[in-house]
Structure formats: structure tokens, C-alpha cells
Structure 1
Amino acid sequence: MVIVEERFVVEKETHLTVMKTSLFFSGDGFAVYDCKGQLVFRVDSYGPDSRDSGELVLMDHNGRCLLTVRRKRPSLHQRWEGFLGERREGEKPIFSVRRSSIIGRSNMTVELIGDRSNEYNIEGHFGNRNCAIYNSGKEIMAEIRRKVDATTNVMLGKDVFSLTLKPGFDGAFAMGLVLVLDQINGDDEGDDNDDDVVDIDPTAEDCNISSRVVE
């Protein structure tokens, strides 16, 4: 299903490696690679000296803006909204993300604006890099997991993790949700047993990515 852009809808199960590009601030930029080491998505640093930290821009490998996610204020459920391309004043969002409960800290509800039948749910703990995105039929459409270096069998730090996309899911949409989760949860909610960050080659796992992800 196309939500952001058709070329990012994968035809078969696809594994991406997501890496934080700076460790100085909570929620710094990201670089996302396929298993061939090609850059798929990027998010430039959105630390305290950059643009509004409540508005993040997802770009493709050429730097073209694909999606803008923005915090909606005020909101008891810490709601975020997603806009196609670079958000303009008065533009309507294409989706929104909110906590499923004011009390609960982990699960999120994702609503596609104008199409409530295609609601998604995010369950698990992003801070521990252990969560999944479910469609309205309770099928897993994407998973976020800790990454293991295939050459050493060592689990990497939480600043490098895997994003697995199921067939038919929009990878740009999935990465937009990752940006929102990173802001809502943050790394400080994870466990205290984090491993040291290990340098990794993004190609160091079996390659079964759809060629449609990167043109």
C-alpha cells in the first residue's frame, strides 16, 4: 500500500540498517542503508541548534524531502502528525501517531487520515529496539530489532538497529514512524544493560532486499 511514495513499497521482505549519525544529543540524525551498503534514507541532525526539534524531515539518498513529521501541541497523548514532502502552513497531515493510552508508555496507535480502516498499531518497546508495527488485520508489517554483527555474533549498541519491512509495506512510512518513536520514547527508557557501540558494515547480513527500495 502506498502511503508516502510507490518506489519505497517493497515487494519482498526487506532488511534495512538504521544508524544514528551523531551521539551528542538525544534524537540526532539517522542514516539508513540497504544490505548492499547503499544509502536509502537520511535525516540530518536535529539537535538543539538546528530547526524546530518538534519537526523532523525524512529525505531520500539524494536529499529530496519525502516526509515531515511534526509534534502536535498541546496533546495529552503526545500526538505527532506526518505530512507529505516538506510541510507547508495549512497543509493537512496524511497520518497521526499517538500513545494508545495516557498511562501506557509503549504502545502507539497510527491513524491514516481519511482512511480509519487502515489503522496501524505499534507494540513493544522502541527504547530497547524491540517492537513491531501491525496493520488492522493484526499482521506484522515491520519490525525493529537489535542488530547482531554477523561476523562476530556480537549484539550492537542501540544506535545501530534493524528495520525489517514485510511485502507491500511502504519503507518511507515505516521510517517516518521510527522518527516519531525515537522522539516519544528516547533512549533513556531502555534497559541499563546496553552494549558498547560497535562499528559495523551495513552489508554484513544476508541480502534479500527488493531492488525497488533504491532507484
Structure 2
Amino acid sequence: MAIVAEEYCDLKERLLTVRKTSHFSPGDGFAAYDHRTGGLAFRADTYGRGHGGGAASPGELALLGPAGEPLLTVRRRRPSLHQRWEGFLGARADGQKALFSARKSSILGGAGRGAVVELAASAASELRVDGSFARRCCRVVAKGEDGEETVVAEIRRKVDAGARVVMGRDVFVLRVGPGFDAAFAMGIVLVLDQIAGHDADDADAGEDALHAKIW
């Protein structure tokens, strides 16, 4: 399922260690490292706060490749009754059509409950995310035209095998299934972090359901 580009759709399962970067405000910066090579695979940059540059506007988030090339740009749509986010391919240009969009649910409840996101992109499939991003325990499920569901990506807490210690929420593992676009998976991470990440310190945070319609 190529959403950003075919080159990010590995034939084998891909594991990324994702870490919030300390020199950004909470929710704005990530670095993702490939388990096979140990090298930097993706990073998230923010604009309008003294960081970054390029074509992005202030307040936008950019997903970059290891050499700093722009892959996705995520921005909050304004005005909007609920939190609504849009993602664009590469460095967003004026008049460019969004690759996907996301909104926060208006369902009432405790912190972390009812966080619902709808995404749209150019492909024939449907996606949803089950579980809780706040707890770093959720999975991306794709529904094919035949109705069959497949887990294409998963977010889980990282465990230090040597010390047998579960690491904090600032470091987690993103598992990307064979054939799924790893760059798009990181775009989902950025959206979830913006919408549900502020509930991460709430011990009673419930499930965050991300429903995605891929056109």
C-alpha cells in the first residue's frame, strides 16, 4: 500500500524505534531509527518556533527523510469546530489537495476517550486504529475490498531486553507490516500525537479509535 512512495513499502516487516526529541516542545519532534541498520529513517520537524525552514508555514509539522527531504507536511486546519488536521505530500504548496485529513471526536467522556480520527488518501482501502496511543499500545488495521482485515502497523512500548525494563512513553516501537508505507505510518503517528498525546500522563486514558477512509 504505497501512500507516500513505493520506496517506503518494504517487502519484509520493518521495526522502527521512535523517540521524542528533547529540543522540541512536547508533541512536535520525533526521530525514528531502523532496527536493521540502526540509522535514522525519519524525523519530524516543526516550523514557526525557531526550528526548521524550507517551504512549510509556521505551526506546521514536517515529516522528513534521513537527508532532510520533506515527505509529508501536517497542519491543523482552521477554522474547525473540532481539532482537524490535514496531511500533504512533501512540502505543502498553496492549492495542493490534502493527502489525508483527521479530526477529533466530539464524544464526551474522560481524558483520552472518544479520540476519533478520519483519514483520507489516494488508494482503495479503509484503515482504523484500535487501542490507545496515549498508552503506546495500538494497531493500524486495514480493511480490504473483500472485507478482510489485516494489521498493517502497530505501536507498542519499547522494552530494554537487557535490563528487562519497559521504557517511558517518549520511546516506543513502530512495527510496520510487509508492503505498508512506513512514511505514511509515521504520518499517522504525528496525527495521533497531536490529537491524543496530551492525555499521555492520564493513567485512566481510554482507547483512541482512529478510523481511516482511503479513497
Residue 52 of structure 1 corresponds to 58
Change (3 A) 1:185 1:163: same
Residue 159 of structure 1 corresponds to 170
Which digits, 9 at most, give the CA deviation of each residue in 1:143-166, with x for residues without a partner? 111110111110000000000001
Equivalent residue runs for 1:70-89 within 5 Å: 70-89=75-94
Residue 12 of structure 1 corresponds to 12
Residue 103 of structure 2 corresponds to 98
Q: Give the percent of matched residue pairs that are identical in Structure 1 and Structure 2.
A: 52
Amino acid of the residue matched to residue 112 of structure 1?
A
Which sits farther off after the overlay, 17-26 or 166-175?
17-26
3-state SS in 1 of match to 2:79: coil
Which digits, 9 at most, give the CA deviation of each residue in 1:132-152, with x for residues without a partner? 111124321111111101111
Residue 110 of structure 2 corresponds to none
Residue 137 of structure 2 corresponds to 130
Amino acid of the residue matched to residue 52 of structure 1?
P
Deviation of 1:98 after TM superposition, in Å, equals 2.5
Deviation of 1:75 after TM superposition, in Å, equals 2.6
Deviation of 1:77 after TM superposition, in Å, equals 4.1
Change (3 A) 1:161 1:111: same
Amino acid of the residue matched to residue 3 of structure 2?
I
3-state SS in 2 of match to 1:86: coil
Deviation of 1:33 after TM superposition, in Å, equals 0.2
Amino acid of the residue matched to residue 127 of structure 1?
A
Runs of 4 or more, structure 1, over 4 Å off, are 45-51
Contact 1:107 1:124 in 2 (8 A): no
3-state SS in 1 of match to 2:83: coil
Change (3 A) 1:176 1:96: same
Equivalent residue runs for 1:1-215 within 5 Å: 1-22=1-22, 25-35=25-35, 36-45=37-46, 48-50=49-51, 52-53=58-59, 55-99=60-104, 101-103=105-107, 105-113=114-122, 115=123, 117-137=124-144, 138-192=149-203
Contact 1:76 1:102 in 2 (8 A): no
Number of paired residues?
189
What's the TM-score, normalizing by structure 2? 0.79
3-state SS in 2 of match to 1:184: helix
Distance of 1:23 and 1:34 partners within structure 2: 21
Change (3 A) 1:20 1:172: same
Deviation of 1:45 after TM superposition, in Å, equals 4.8
3-state SS in 2 of match to 1:186: helix
Q: Which runs of 5+ in 1 are unaligned?
A: 194-215
Change (3 A) 1:129 1:185: same
Deviation of 1:192 after TM superposition, in Å, equals 3.9
Report which of the two has the higher share of strand.
2
Change (3 A) 1:83 1:160: same
Q: Which runs of 5+ in 2 are unaligned?
A: 52-56, 108-112, 205-215
Amino acid of the residue matched to residue 119 of structure 2?
V
Which sits farther off after the overlay, 13-22 or 136-145?
136-145
